[in-house]
């Protein structure tokens, strides 16, 4: 009967680990499979020194492009302002955050929209597109 206690690996499924540098009687003795003499046969030589630094640098994948440290504007539409604010309200990043129109009050905010601004509000501390500035 087949059970976990008597399962064996099939023949050739695994190989014994090669143990090198343990004397002549190990079968890999003397030079320990490194050949004779030369820089590669010595101990303490890093892969960088063997390949050459330039060759190593060329093989490493590079991260391309540019990432700006300037934070991107969070966009709020004129339509959302018409729905969520009344006449005379003061619109700041904090008030937009409280109404769940932006994710973070510390990041810059820009109001965009081709729609008509129907409510008369005071926009302070937020950026505005040209079309929104023209309506105010």
Token pair 């008030």: residue: 95
* Number of structural domains found in the chain: 1
Residue at 130 is within a domain: yes
Query: In whole angstroms, what is the distance from residue 74 CA to residue 62 CA?
Result: 30
Residue at 30 is within a domain: no
CATH number of the CATH domain containing 99: 3.100.10.10
According to the model, what pLDDT value does residue 124 have? Answer: 87
Residue at 5 is within a domain: no
Q: What is the pLDDT of residues 90-119, one digit of tens each?
A: 989 999 999 899 998 899 999 998 888 888
Residue at 4 is within a domain: no
Structural domain boundaries enclosing 98:
74-135
Query: In whole angstroms, what is the distance from residue 73 CA to residue 128 CA?
Result: 11
Q: What is the pLDDT of residues 50-96, one digit of tens each?
A: 567 787 788 888 888 998 999 999 999 999 999 988 888 898 999 99
pLDDT at 15 over 60: yes
Residue at 21 is within a domain: no
Residue at 11 is within a domain: no
Residue at 85 is within a domain: yes
Query: In whole angstroms, what is the distance from residue 88 CA to residue 123 CA?
Result: 10
Global pTM reads: 0.51
Q: What sign does the CA torsion over 97, 101, 102, 106 have?
A: negative
pLDDT at 48 over 70: no
Residue at 95 is within a domain: yes
């Amino acid at each position: 009967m087949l059970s976990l206690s008597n399962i064996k690996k099939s023949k050739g499924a695994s190989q014994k680990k090669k143990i090198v540098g343990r004397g002549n009687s190990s079968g890999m003795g003397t030079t320990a499979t490194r050949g004779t003499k030369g820089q590669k046969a010595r101990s303490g030589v890093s892969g960088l020194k063997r390949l050459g630094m330039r060759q190593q640098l060329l093989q490493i994948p590079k991260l391309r492009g540019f990432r700006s440290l300037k934070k991107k504007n969070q966009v709020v539409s004129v339509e959302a302002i018409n729905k969520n604010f009344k006449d005379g309200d003061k619109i700041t990043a904090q008030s937009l955050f409280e109404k769940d129109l932006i994710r973070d009050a510390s990041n810059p905010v820009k109001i965009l929209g081709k729609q008509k601004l129907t409510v008369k509000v005071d926009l302070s501390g937020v950026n505005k597109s040209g079309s929104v500035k023209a309506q105010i």
